[in-house]
Amino acid sequence: MGIGAFLSARLARRVGPEHRTFAAMTGTVLGGTHATCPACRRGHLLPDPGAPALRKCDDPACGATYSLAEMGRTFALEGSDIRDLAHEARRQALMLFLAAVLIGVVAAVWAIFAQSWLTLLGAVLLCTVVLASALVQRYRAWQLDRGRMFEARAPLGAFLAAELNELIGRGQR
């Protein structure tokens, strides 16, 4: 029996359906899944290596291709008011930030009480994930405000510059 088979057998007993659901959600949050194809509803839209401004369905029976501009127009038609969506994304970012602060404070007090550095390490890792989710929400709000939802290359530099300008008080909405 190899090490891989041994670990696989152990994990199969320890990992239940609730853990698999959590793993699937984690993949979604971290960008592991792609949008479902609107034409066939079976495949996922993946970047086309030959044309960065196109997304192609990975289902061989469908093979539909969509441009990023077309996806942006579809998003604008299906969504509600862009300002409301951006406001909601900012509100979610604030809630996630406050949750991370609360988790950090409670975990620090508990770590001191229990005299456990591992508790503090676990809290730091959990807070990192929650803060990353808050940053993603801020990025979505910025994209909605600026109308830069679907681009071939993510405008992270412009986003960071806008966030820093807003942080030091020179930002305009």
Query: How far apart are the C-alpha atoms of 2 and 117, rounded to whole Å?
Result: 34
Determine contact, residues 56/46, Cβ cutoff 8 Å. Answer: yes
Is the pTM here over 0.75, yes or no?
no
For 24-77, the pLDDT digits (tens) are 545 444 444 566 777 787 888 787 777 777 788 888 888 788 887 776 665 554
Residue 12 Cα distances to 15, 24, 45, angstroms: 6, 16, 31
Instruction: Specify the higher pLDDT residue, 67 or 162.
Output: 162
What ranges do the domains of the chain cover? 34-79, 80-173
| pLDDT reported for residue 77 | 45
Residue range 64-102, pLDDT digits in tens: 888 877 766 655 545 467 778 788 889 999 999 999 999
pLDDT at 66: 80
**% the chain with pLDDT above 70:** 69
- Provide the terminal-to-terminal Cα distance of the chain, rounded to the nearest Å: 62
In 3-state terms the chain splits into helix, strand, coil percentages (rounded to 5) of 65, 10, 25
pLDDT of residue 32: 47
Residue 108: what residue type?
Answer: A
